[in-house]
Amino acid sequence: TPPLALSLEDRARRAATIARNNIAVEVKDLRKAYDGNRVLDGLDLTVRIGEVIALLGPSGSGKSTLLRCINHLENWDSGEIRVGGRKLGFDEKERKLTPRAIANERANVGVGMVFQQFNLFGHLSAKENIAGPLRWVHGLGRFEAERRATELLDRVGLSHRADALPRHLSGGQQQRVAIARALAPNPSVLLLDEPTSALDPELVNEVLEVIRRLAIDDGLTMIISTHQVRFADEVADRVAFLNGGVILEEGPAHEVLSSPRHPLTARFLSVMD
């Protein structure tokens, strides 16, 4: 398949469609501190269904923490997060939930996550990395789980590597398996935390292509943190630039990246690739 390049017209058409969609993720006045160090400092973010948003910003600006909160891996001090209209939150009652119950709730809310270091199970084949959690966490039978894993491996172009262990796959292939695994329970939103940062430069494109296909062919909503400006430009509809736990500037990817308004955004972009 030829690489997918979106023209400015394509981008405008996508933006117009997305603007009419419902809200997928809404973050309001989110605050979180570690030992008095304010990591999220009243952050607001709205992401519409089908939108791909890239979070840029210096190291320590709060990108991973924000994603971990949206995935409910972390608690926060105040503010609200809604996914598909459902409010997430650990109140006093929910704090007594077992880890299993929290995992179930997360699965029901429909958020999937992909990490910089892939986090695959090293002793399981590519296919079992996908089918296993479908059985253990989502209660699918062996046949159904394997059918779904096979279908997802095909979608990320790795049918021929189904039986390979992670250490026999390239970094790009491992990340594609991790994406397939995150998609297996059919999340409404996929969060990707620096998905290409651990990859050799020549392996970035194959992961970029998979992410683009998900955006264009499947209309998947994605929030992607990255420090690779070119990657953000090629994959995102919109970029948000974080600094000090707030969004300093956001807008259409092309606009913000080519003519940033905030001096800190401009300075950040000038030192990036």
List of residues contacting ligand ADP (CB under 6 A): 34, 39, 57, 59-65
Cα distances (Å, whole numbers) of residue 17 to 14, 48, 82: 5, 10, 22
Helix (H) or strand (E) holding 52: strand 52-56
Closest distance to ligand ADP from the beta carbon of 158 (Å) = 28
CA pair distance 126, 144, nearest whole angstrom: 16
Nearer to ligand ADP, 68 or 138 (CB): 68
* Part in contact with Mg ion (CB under 5 A); list of ranges 55-63, 141-149, 151-159, 173-181: 55-63
Closer Cβ to ligand ADP, 73 or 137, answer by number: 73
Q: Which does 60 bind (CB under 5 to 8 A by kind): Mg ion, ligand ADP, none?
A: ligand ADP
Least distance (Å) from ligand ADP to the CB of residue 67? Answer: 8
Q: Which stretch binds Mg ion (CB under 5 A): 12-20, 61-69, 107-115, 135-143?
A: 61-69
Q: Do 235 and 52 meet the contact criterion of CB atoms below 8 Å apart?
A: yes
**187, interface contact from ligand ADP, Mg ion, none, CB < 5-8 Å by kind:** none
Least separation in angstroms between CB 246 and ligand ADP: 12
Identify the three-state secondary structure at position 30: strand
Nearer of residues 48 and 63 to Mg ion, judged by Cβ: 63
Cβ-proximal residues to 167 (8 Å cutoff; 6+ apart), any chain:
122
Segment (H or E) for 207: helix 201-218
> How many residues bind to Mg ion according to rule CB under 5 A?
2
Residues 106, 112, 117, CA angle at the centre, nearest 5°?
Answer: 120
Tell me, residue by residue from 14 to 53, as one string, x for binding to Mg ion by CB under 5 A and - for no binding: ----------------------------------------
Give which of ligand ADP, Mg ion, none residue 61 binds (C-beta under 5 to 8 Å, depending on kind). ligand ADP
Which DSSP symbol is given to 22? Answer: P
Interface segment toward Mg ion; rule CB under 5 A; list 32-40, 60-68, 72-80, 142-150:
60-68
Residue closer to Mg ion, measured from CB, 63 or 127: 63
Per CB under 5 A, 64 contacts Mg ion: yes
Residues in a beta bridge with 41: 31
- The item of Mg ion, ligand ADP, none sharing an interface with residue 79, based on CB under 5 to 8 Å by kind, is none
Of the pair 14, 63, the CB lying nearest Mg ion is at 63
> What whole-number distance in Å separates Cα of residue 16 and Cα of residue 50?
11
DSSP tally for the chain: helices H, then strands E: 10, 10
Closest to 208 measured CA to CA, from 189, 224, 219: 224
CA geometry: angle 82, 85, 86, nearest 5 deg: 65
Interface residues toward Mg ion, by CB under 5 A: 63-64
